[in-house]
Amino acid sequence: MKKVDIYTTPSCVYCKKTKAFFVEHKVEYTEHDVTKDAAARDDMIKRSGQMGVPVVDVEGQLVVGFDESKLRELIGITD
């Protein structure tokens, strides 16, 4: 399984959709709540150039927002 990190906020609708997608497809992930973790927030902004969430890191490949087709491609979900 690929290493997946997701940068989120509690009120983000697209973060919730992304996490639900991961659960549906049994994708293990590590969540970083950028409202509580300043270091994670700073890392996300530095790496992505974005302040919006979700930002998903799949083994170094970043996806900004909930882009299901890109996530399927990067993670290898074929169903």
- What average pLDDT does range 53-70 have in this prediction? 97
* 1, pLDDT greater than 80: no
Task: Give the domain CATH number at 27.
Answer: 3.40.30.10
**pLDDT, position 47:** 95
Instruction: Return the H-helix or E-strand segment holding 30.
Output: strand 30-33
Name, in order, each residue with C-beta under 8 angstroms of 10's C-beta and a sequence gap of 6 or more: 33, 35
Tens of pLDDT along 4-58? 999 999 999 999 999 999 999 999 999 999 999 999 999 999 999 999 999 999 9
Domain count, the chain: 1
Name, in order, each residue with C-beta under 8 angstroms of 38's C-beta and a sequence gap of 6 or more: none
The answer, as to whether pTM is greater than 0.85, is yes
